[in-house]
Structure 1
Amino acid sequence: MHSFFAWIISFGMICNIATAQILLKNPVLPGFYPDPSICKAGEDYYLVNSTFSYFPGIPVFHSKDLKNWKQIGNVIERSSQMDFMGERITRGLFAPSISFHNGTYYVACTDIDNGGNFIVTAKNPAGPWSNPVYLKEVRGIDPSLFFDGGKAYIVYNSEAPARKPLYEGHRTVRVYELDMLNLKVRGEETILVNGGADISKKPVWIEGPHLYKRKNFYYLMAAEGGTGVNHSEVIFRSKDIRGPFMPYDKNPILTQRHLDPKRKDPITSVGHADLIEGPDGSTFAVFLGARPYDGDFYNTGRETFIAPVAWLDDWPVINYGNEEVQYSYKAGWKEFPNKDINPLSGNFSTTYHFESYLDPQFLFLRTRDTSWYSFEKENGGLTIKLLPETVMGLGNPAFIGRRQQHLTSSGSVEMEFATKMENEKSGLIILQSEEHFYYLCKSFKQGKDVVQLFKSTPKSKEMELISERELGKKDAKIYLKIAASKDSYSFWYSLKRNKWTLLKEGLDARFLSTKTAGGFVGSLFGMYVTSSAKPSGNSAVYKWFSYSGSDETYQVLGSKR
């Protein structure tokens, strides 16, 4: 039976390639954009991602072609909605899902340490979004909404039956009916999946569930195996929303865990998928994945990928016909490029000039406090006050960063900063967590201006001085650059633009990898100033921030890898 369907799909792919008008390149959202969820409203697509303890939380992206995305807002953009003070970077908001129904947009998500599962709503996906409505009865993570015949449901990952797990990682998928008028659960919850596709094999971490309806079946799709290299996606179906849900006998419908880890340019850890209808009526899936530069080491975090879906005997199979997730897929619809001057994907270089606003790609830690930064109206630039808080703490330090989106990339700044205090520092950081970062900065030591490079010390709120050089010229202006080359970082400074001096090269990038540092986030290049636990009235002015990234895989055009 499958050979017949394979012939039909292959024939369809040949015809599709002949008329294809667009090339979807992976990842469609490179860098730290994990846990994608997508919805369609008319001809428009909207996508959201996890942001954990970064602020604003949950970016909202818009596209008309599933290739070109533009950030149009954030779901959590006001501190009055919530903040993440006191939480580690890798906590905060887990796995949002976005839905559209009867003119209203819904996002369901989990604030993992404060409040649990909640729903916010908006009439315009660009915002403003409502304050969160918490659902205390929904115990677990990864909530997702489903609308069917005038009823609404919330499906989510939860604990083992009777809170008695049979093994580590034993979880369930459960559902409640939802009163959409009051955003409250209705009736009793039902366990839809216990353990996973085959509980006899002790499947772990069944999570990220979504419900769909197609023809006469309800489909339940979820991830298994954890979000690392054993990640996968599995599918179940039922004639009734309350089950029983039967697993597909050829699960998983997406994984890369069985492939040679030494293969060229691997895409790993794929899962946490969501299905969507493309502009031509075909089905596609968005999902997270990672691009390691060596083994399981990557600094760009978990990223958003896309792949076509084939329906075999009324079962969806992601990336059918390919063993490996591809770096590009051809699709048969028109491209709609956006005109955003700051691109989100592909190879690019962009410079942010701080005149009156911050690009939405910039992030703060835990909340946004506008009292410590402002824009220079006359000469241009971003003035940032030195705060006693540091990135090693759990507060709101004077840090403003953007994602490292490429394995080969750089961040650079032009900065004006003068000090005669050794505790005051201003510069450029590459940050993965409170305990894993490199910090390139200008400071003052023994009566002289110096440029310094620090490395964080895990399990300690101290920094190790790696390199230092005296700045002979007395000038407030300095240029700083951090360059990533897959498994290493190099650090540069200059007193004249484009006249770079190498301070240190070849520092181990694995120190900032997810495998070493842990957690669920990727690395960020950031502007960061601090007075190191001491009050200060000093400030630094950043004239511009530049990011450049180039990965060879973006040059691949639909080849089998």
Structure 2
Amino acid sequence: MKHTYQCLKKYRIAFLTLMIALFSSVHLSAQQNAPLFSQFVYEGDDQIYKDHPLEEDEFYTPILQGTYPDPAIVRRGDDYFMVHSSFSMWPGIPIFHSNDLVNWTQIGHVLDRKSQLFVQNAGISEGLYAPAIKYNPHNETFYMITTQFAGGIGNMVVTTQDPFEGWSDPYPLNFNGIDPSLFFDDDGKAFVVHNDAPDEGEELYEGHRVIKIWDYDLEENQVIEGTDKIIVDGGVDITEEPIWIEMPHIYKRDDGRYYLSCAEGGTGDWHSQVVFVSDNPRGPYKPADNNPILTQRYLNPDRENRVEWAGHADMVEGPDGELYGVFLAIRPNEENRVTTGRETFILPVDWSGEFPIFVNGLVPLKPKLKMPEGVENKTGQDGFFPNGNFTFTENFESEDLDYRWIGMRGPREDFISVDSNGLTINPFDTNIHDTAPISSLFKRHMHDTFTATATLEYSPQSENDLAGLVNYQRETYHYVFGVTKKDNEHYILLQRTEDGESTIVASTTIDADNPIHLQVRADGDDYRYYFSTNGTDFTNVGGTVSADILSTNMAGGFTGALIGLYATSSNDARPE
């Protein structure tokens, strides 16, 4: 009996050993089939920065290039914090820190946990809209309030006493509409203002919206039922049928009056910033007689270095005691297309009169500004965010990736791993067309003219496997430039997807036994894709293609284009 037991034990151990070996073999095979990216280099080369080099006392605007829209800013002491919309990008709501409004460091994202963010099935331009960030000195707490069009959340607020240390889970708020903002009065009372639809049956025209105010309960983090009131109907002058009054902020001045500043005209070519005044935070509010206080809509469309769509602003006192405003705007390319999205700009604000006005905000915006007194420009140095023309090199040497790398609809940590060899992407069985988490690590396009090069080691096992680069505007508009397999040959191909319809622009066989260098060269509206097997000699695939599908003009939505390191085990792009 004892002998039989020992034999069975030996057989069991042998069986388990065999199973572990088989599992390890399968796991190793799967890892070997996962693409390895060992380097990524992005080089911006826009002509505007060559034509306008910085003097010692100057800095560039936009201060954040690429799709960093809907800026909101707050100051506590010498610290400035700024947040931006992120839609379905993951993590959500990038947050930046500065001590001087010129040199910015990204310190993370406000919403970086699955208990905070619910965008798993949201389209790229859905998810999170228009955050506002405020500080309440009465309880020494920061508040970030926004609208999450995903997961049934709606309007919500999160809090922290230290933005460097993370934020609470969301408190859902009991009101409709979008673009909420908080205001804390000197006496400790709190209010929420936001965009909403007019009362039922009161809609007068397409785009007719109102601004509402509620009293806010700081203990419950909730609006107080029954306190809602319309404080702006339509906009500055409802007889002119203004559209999309939104993103309100209330400021209190030393004169004891309350100033309500809002975007008006929609986030397009009629965008602007307007202002109202009242003796009470709950109104009534009277519009300024010099509205709009910021816009580019009246200017010659043929002007050089055009900036358009300016608006959605927030104001803050600078380190020199002067007032500044951050806002969004776009810079179209030579074909009048927008691929970099809505970027974050800054201007001084003159509030020497009754109402504020953005300095030179009604004339063509310039690419450079004078720095606040006593500030030194360190952008691109010592960890500060770069602007102008710059090179971004990622060798994937640390598990703590740069915050500029983001996922789509899900955490990047769900599909990546980093070791001494580089970045491995473990492919999902979703692909780039899906409105679902995809295994692609993205960064924003920040220039019209740039070169991006990725070094890839990859041996796809079947036609269902693909890895490479993607230029992505949304799930139905993008380019895929990747390596796959057909029969017994490895191929590199370029796929174009327009309005959900995909075509293979070109494909060619390739030797996948050695590292492959994939490259995209963007020159305004012209894109060219190249590969190299030695890192020196590059071969074009597909000739010159248009960036039209990467533009907001064609694809719609609210985001700029992204470039991604992409992999899938559910590939639909077949070589020809």
Does residue 1:347 correspond to 2:389, yes or no? yes
* Larger displacement relative to structure 2 (229-238 or 293-302): 293-302
Q: Distance in 2 between matches of 1:343 and 1:223?
A: 27
**Correspondence for 1:50 among 85, 88, 91:** 85
Whether the 8 Å CA contact 2:183–2:250 is kept in 1: the answer is: yes
Question: Cα 1:53–1:109, aligned 2, differ >3 Å: closer, same or farther?
Answer: same
- In structure 2, the residue matched to 1:226 is 266
Question: Cα 1:322–1:228, aligned 2, differ >3 Å: closer, same or farther?
Answer: closer
For residues 334-413 of structure 1, the aligned pairs below 5 Å read: 334-335=375-376, 337=378, 339-341=381-383, 343-355=385-397, 356-368=399-411, 370-376=413-419, 379-413=420-454
Question: Cα 1:371–1:310, aligned 2, differ >3 Å: closer, same or farther?
Answer: closer
Offset at residue 415 of structure 1 (A): 0.8
Offset at residue 215 of structure 1 (A): 2.2
Offset at residue 126 of structure 1 (A): 2.3
Code of the residue aligned with 2:165 in structure 1: it is G
**Correspondence for 1:24 among 38, 59, 64:** 59
- In structure 1, the residue matched to 2:324 is 284
Does residue 1:131 correspond to 2:169, yes or no? yes
Offset at residue 354 of structure 1 (A): 1.3
- In structure 2, the residue matched to 1:469 is 508
Q: Which runs of 5+ in 2 are unaligned?
A: 1-54
Does residue 1:251 correspond to 2:286, yes or no? no
Code of the residue aligned with 2:195 in structure 1: it is N
SS at 1:511 equivalent:
helix
Question: Cα 1:280–1:215, aligned 2, differ >3 Å: closer, same or farther?
Answer: same
Does residue 1:524 correspond to 2:562, yes or no? yes
Deviation readout 1:52-100 (Å, 9 max, x if unpaired): 0010000110111211111001111001212211110110000001111
Whether the 8 Å CA contact 2:184–2:190 is kept in 1: the answer is: yes
Q: Distance in 2 between matches of 1:343 and 1:412?
A: 21
Deviation readout 1:446-465 (Å, 9 max, x if unpaired): 321111111114244xx311
Does residue 1:274 correspond to 2:314, yes or no? yes
Offset at residue 35 of structure 1 (A): 0.1
Question: Cα 1:277–1:342, aligned 2, differ >3 Å: closer, same or farther?
Answer: closer
* Larger displacement relative to structure 2 (365-374 or 95-104): 365-374
Code of the residue aligned with 1:470 in structure 2: it is T
Whether the 8 Å CA contact 1:204–1:226 is kept in 2: the answer is: yes
Question: Cα 1:485–1:295, aligned 2, differ >3 Å: closer, same or farther?
Answer: closer
- In structure 2, the residue matched to 1:482 is 520
Deviation readout 1:531-561 (Å, 9 max, x if unpaired): 2269xxxxxxxxxxxxxxxxxxxxxxxxxxx
Deviation readout 1:311-341 (Å, 9 max, x if unpaired): 2532000124861122112132322636445
Question: Cα 1:295–1:509, aligned 2, differ >3 Å: closer, same or farther?
Answer: closer
Offset at residue 412 of structure 1 (A): 1.6
Q: Distance in 2 between matches of 1:533 and 1:264?
A: 43
Q: Distance in 2 between matches of 1:145 and 1:432?
A: 32
Offset at residue 350 of structure 1 (A): 1.5
Whether the 8 Å CA contact 1:236–1:247 is kept in 2: the answer is: yes
Code of the residue aligned with 2:481 in structure 1: it is L
* Larger displacement relative to structure 2 (198-207 or 118-127): 118-127
Does residue 1:421 correspond to 2:456, yes or no? no
Whether the 8 Å CA contact 2:477–2:500 is kept in 1: the answer is: no
Q: Distance in 2 between matches of 1:146 and 1:457?
A: 43
Offset at residue 442 of structure 1 (A): 0.8
SS at 1:489 equivalent:
strand
Q: Distance in 1 between matches of 2:514 and 2:535?
A: 14
Whether the 8 Å CA contact 1:65–1:336 is kept in 2: the answer is: no
Code of the residue aligned with 2:99 in structure 1: it is K
Whether the 8 Å CA contact 2:293–2:361 is kept in 1: the answer is: no
Question: Cα 1:502–1:49, aligned 2, differ >3 Å: closer, same or farther?
Answer: same
Whether the 8 Å CA contact 1:21–1:332 is kept in 2: the answer is: no
Question: Cα 1:246–1:175, aligned 2, differ >3 Å: closer, same or farther?
Answer: same
- In structure 2, the residue matched to 1:162 is 200
- In structure 1, the residue matched to 2:94 is 59
**Correspondence for 1:297 among 322, 337, 343:** 337
SS at 1:515 equivalent:
helix
- In structure 1, the residue matched to 2:228 is 189
Offset at residue 369 of structure 1 (A): 5.7
Whether the 8 Å CA contact 1:40–1:100 is kept in 2: the answer is: yes
Code of the residue aligned with 1:335 in structure 2: it is E
Offset at residue 371 of structure 1 (A): 3.9
SS at 1:315 equivalent:
coil
Q: Distance in 2 between matches of 1:342 and 1:285?
A: 20
Code of the residue aligned with 2:302 in structure 1: it is K
Whether the 8 Å CA contact 1:170–1:195 is kept in 2: the answer is: yes
SS at 1:161 equivalent:
coil
Q: Distance in 2 between matches of 1:481 and 1:22?
A: 36
Q: Distance in 2 between matches of 1:49 and 1:493?
A: 35
Whether the 8 Å CA contact 1:64–1:336 is kept in 2: the answer is: no
Q: Distance in 2 between matches of 1:184 and 1:322?
A: 38
Q: Distance in 2 between matches of 1:295 and 1:177?
A: 47
- In structure 1, the residue matched to 2:118 is 83
Q: Distance in 1 between matches of 2:171 and 2:234?
A: 29
Q: Distance in 2 between matches of 1:74 and 1:340?
A: 20
**Correspondence for 1:206 among 245, 257, 282:** 245
Code of the residue aligned with 1:46 in structure 2: it is F
Whether the 8 Å CA contact 2:514–2:533 is kept in 1: the answer is: no
Whether the 8 Å CA contact 1:203–1:225 is kept in 2: the answer is: yes
Q: Distance in 2 between matches of 1:268 and 1:497?
A: 39
Code of the residue aligned with 1:294 in structure 2: it is E
**Correspondence for 2:547 among 478, 487, 509:** 509
Question: Cα 1:420–1:165, aligned 2, differ >3 Å: closer, same or farther?
Answer: same
Q: Distance in 2 between matches of 1:43 and 1:371?
A: 37
* Larger displacement relative to structure 2 (445-454 or 86-95): 445-454
Q: Distance in 2 between matches of 1:294 and 1:43?
A: 40
Structure 1 segments of 4+ aligned residues over 6 angstroms from their partners: none
Whether the 8 Å CA contact 1:319–1:325 is kept in 2: the answer is: no
Code of the residue aligned with 1:41 in structure 2: it is R
Code of the residue aligned with 2:217 in structure 1: it is D
Offset at residue 353 of structure 1 (A): 1.6
Does residue 1:96 correspond to 2:131, yes or no? yes
Offset at residue 395 of structure 1 (A): 1.0
Whether the 8 Å CA contact 2:70–2:84 is kept in 1: the answer is: yes
Q: TM-score, normalised by structure 1?
A: 0.88
Deviation readout 1:472-515 (Å, 9 max, x if unpaired): x3514111011211111110111112332222342111221001
SS at 1:510 equivalent:
helix
Q: Distance in 2 between matches of 1:322 and 1:519?
A: 26
Code of the residue aligned with 1:353 in structure 2: it is N
Question: Cα 1:407–1:88, aligned 2, differ >3 Å: closer, same or farther?
Answer: same
Deviation readout 1:198-227 (Å, 9 max, x if unpaired): 000000000011000112220000011110
Whether the 8 Å CA contact 1:70–1:344 is kept in 2: the answer is: no
Question: Cα 1:402–1:321, aligned 2, differ >3 Å: closer, same or farther?
Answer: closer
Q: TM-score, normalised by structure 2?
A: 0.85
Whether the 8 Å CA contact 2:121–2:437 is kept in 1: the answer is: no
Whether the 8 Å CA contact 1:209–1:223 is kept in 2: the answer is: yes
Q: Distance in 1 between matches of 2:571 and 2:456?
A: 22
Does residue 1:327 correspond to 2:367, yes or no? yes
Code of the residue aligned with 1:292 in structure 2: it is P
**Correspondence for 2:145 among 108, 113, 129:** 108
Whether the 8 Å CA contact 1:309–1:320 is kept in 2: the answer is: no
Aligned residue pair count: 509
Q: Distance in 1 between matches of 2:414 and 2:173?
A: 33
Q: Distance in 2 between matches of 1:474 and 1:168?
A: 55
Offset at residue 141 of structure 1 (A): 0.4
- In structure 1, the residue matched to 2:180 is 143
